């Protein structure tokens, strides 16, 4: 059977035009303390911002349908789809969409094993999450390419739309994903399904990122041959060595078209964002689920932003990191002058285990 690449499909860049965005209503008690009440203002802010620019599909379970209808009743542009799932990380459980030059768009349903399966996965019952991509394609009317022999999360890849992919070695070479495959085989699989010509392997991601360091938290394309990289000048911060290894790799790299990569540093918050005893008291963890501890440092990064058709939704962590937030806003406005930069309170999203990009998935026009 011919590959998607051979059939003319490629993965568009996130900064290219969208038909819609997909998100999932939060409810997992091991991710969202206090029935997701602290995080709900952040979700609502994101839903409103996205719905101003493009259609928004909001996946919701049957048990949360009425609550979701009440909370979103004043937000035009939202389509609620009742589909069962295990958590809210649409980037990783919803389809990765590819497009052909004639405009045909299809979704890819990768195998999902909760970021590591039996080796180091974050929860043990993920059957509904693994089935979600195909279920969404059916509900929303998109053809679906089933790739259940390859473990991949959408947060582990970024595309420039012109043949180049970004990923991290720490994630895609993790023993919890495709242990039976070599790096070269993984690269061929990515290129075959996503229509790419070259994969840029960053060594590491963000310190303490429990996804084995997804690339979408450390580095992202803002234009072809141009990226932002999470950074710190503090050599005593564990993140410094990780970001430096990525910078050194990018400075040596060229993209699929032979262009050098321009790197813009986007500093992480000056102060670590950590779990508090109050946060911890609101969780209810299932058997076999990865738990949290008071004082645990979370993987805070401004690189986990999300492009809509006209905007950039940018995480903001507040409190003592207000100056860091302002710095990130200024940098992104300078780098993306043709878009509105929408600050979204994200500290409570981070408590859930991810951030804005992790919670969203784009459907290209």
d(CA 358, CA 89): 6
Domain that holds residue 107: 18-364
In a domain, 195, yes or no: yes
**Does residue 13 belong to any structural domain of this protein?**
no
Nearest to 267 by CA among 312, 213, 222, 327: 327
11 lies in some domain? no
Burial category of 34 from C-beta neighbours within 10 Å (exposed 0-12, middle 13-18, buried 19 and up): middle
Identify whether 236 is part of a domain.
Answer: yes
- Whether residue 268 is contained in a domain is answered as yes
CA 305 to chain centroid, in Å, comes to 9
The two three-digit tokens of residue 148, written as one number: 């259940």
Residue 1 has a pLDDT of 63
The number of folded domains in the chain is: 1
Give the CATH number for residue 98: 3.75.10.10
Give Cβ neighbours of residue 228 (< 8 Å, ≥ 6 apart). 219, 220, 222, 263, 264, 265, 266, 303, 331, 332, 335
The confidence score (pLDDT) of residue 2 equals 80
- 3-state SS string over 238-289? HHHHHHHHHHHHHHHCECCCCCECEEEEEECCCCCCECCHHHHHCCCCCCCC
pLDDT of the chain, 365 residues: tens digit per residue: 689 999 999 999 999 999 999 999 999 999 999 999 999 999 999 999 999 999 999 999 999 999 999 999 999 999 999 999 999 999 999 999 999 999 999 999 999 999 999 999 999 999 999 999 999 999 999 999 999 999 999 999 999 999 999 999 999 999 999 999 999 999 999 999 999 999 999 999 999 999 999 999 999 999 999 999 999 999 999 999 999 999 999 999 999 999 999 999 999 999 999 999 999 999 999 999 999 999 999 999 999 999 999 999 999 999 999 999 999 999 999 999 999 999 999 999 999 999 999 999 999 99
Q: What is the Cα–Cα distance from 162 to 251, expressed in whole angstroms?
A: 19
- The count of other CB atoms within 10 Å of the CB of residue 56 is 25
Residues recognised as catalytic:
358
Tell me whether residue 331 is in a domain.
Answer: yes
The pLDDT, as a whole number, for residue 9 is: 98
Q: Is residue 294 part of a domain?
A: yes
Assign 3-class secondary structure to the chain.
CCCCCCCCCECCCCCCCEEEEEEECCCCCCCCHHHHCCCHHHHHHHHHHHHHHCEEEEEECHHHHHHHHHHHCCCCCEEEEECCCCCCCHHHHCCEEEECCCCCEEEEEEECCCCCHHHHCCCCCCHHHHHHHHHHHHHHCCCEEEEEEEECCHHHCEECCCCEEEEEHHHHCCCCCCCCCCHHHHHHHHHHHHCCCEEEEECCCCCCCCCCCCHHHCEEEEECCEEEEEECCCCCCHHHHHHHHHHHHHHHCECCCCCECEEEEEECCCCCCECCHHHHHCCCCCCCCCCCCCCCECCCCCCCCEECCCEEEEEECCHHHHHHHHHHHHHHHHHCCCCEEEEEECHHHHHHCCCCCCCCEEEEC
Q: Please indicate, yes or no, if residue 190 is contained in any of the structural domains.
A: yes
Give the CA distances from residue 45 to residues 51, 71, 75, 148, 256, in Å, rounded to whole numbers and listed in that order.
10, 11, 10, 34, 37
């Amino acid at each position: 059977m011919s590959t998607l690449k051979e059939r003319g499909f490629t993965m568009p860049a996130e900064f290219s035009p969208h038909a819609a965005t997909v998100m999932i209503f939060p409810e997992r008690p091991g991710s969202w303390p206090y029935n997701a009440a602290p995080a709900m203002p952040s979700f609502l802010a994101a839903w409103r911002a996205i719905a101003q620019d493009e259609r928004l599909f909001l996946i919701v379970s049957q048990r949360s349908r009425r609550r979701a209808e009440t909370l979103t009743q004043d937000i035009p542009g939202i389509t609620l789809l009742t589909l069962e799932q295990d958590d809210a990380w649409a980037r990783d459980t919803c389809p990765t969409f590819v497009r052909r030059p004639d405009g045909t768009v299809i979704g890819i349903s990768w195998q999902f094993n909760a970021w590591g399966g039996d080796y180091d996965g974050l929860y043990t019952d993920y059957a509904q999450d693994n089935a979600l991509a195909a279920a969404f394609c059916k509900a929303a009317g998109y053809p679906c390419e089933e790739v259940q022999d390859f473990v991949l999360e959408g947060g582990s890849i970024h595309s420039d739309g012109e043949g180049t992919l970004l990923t991290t070695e720490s994630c895609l070479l993790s023993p919890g994903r495709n242990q039976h495959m070599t790096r070269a085989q993984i690269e061929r699989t990515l290129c075959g399904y996503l229509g790419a010509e070259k994969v840029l392997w960053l060594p590491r991601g963000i310190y303490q990122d429990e996804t084995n360091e997804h690339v979408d938290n450390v580095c992202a394309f803002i234009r072809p041959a141009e990226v932002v990289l999470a950074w710190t000048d503090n050599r005593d911060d564990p993140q410094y060595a990780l970001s430096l290894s990525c910078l050194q790799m990018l400075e040596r790299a060229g993209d699929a078209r032979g262009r050098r990569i321009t790197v813009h540093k986007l500093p992480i918050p000056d102060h670590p964002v950590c779990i508090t005893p109050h946060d911890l008291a609101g969780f209810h963890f299932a058997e076999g689920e990865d738990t949290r501890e008071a004082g645990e440092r979370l993987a805070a990064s401004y690189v986990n932003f999300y492009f809509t058709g006209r905007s950039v939704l940018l995480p903001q962590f507040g409190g003592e990191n207000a100056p860091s937030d302002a710095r990130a806003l200024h940098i992104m406005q300078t780098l993306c002058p043709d878009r509105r930069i929408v600050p979204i309170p994200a500290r409570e999203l981070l408590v859930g285990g991810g951030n804005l990009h992790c919670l969203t998935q784009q459907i290209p026009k």
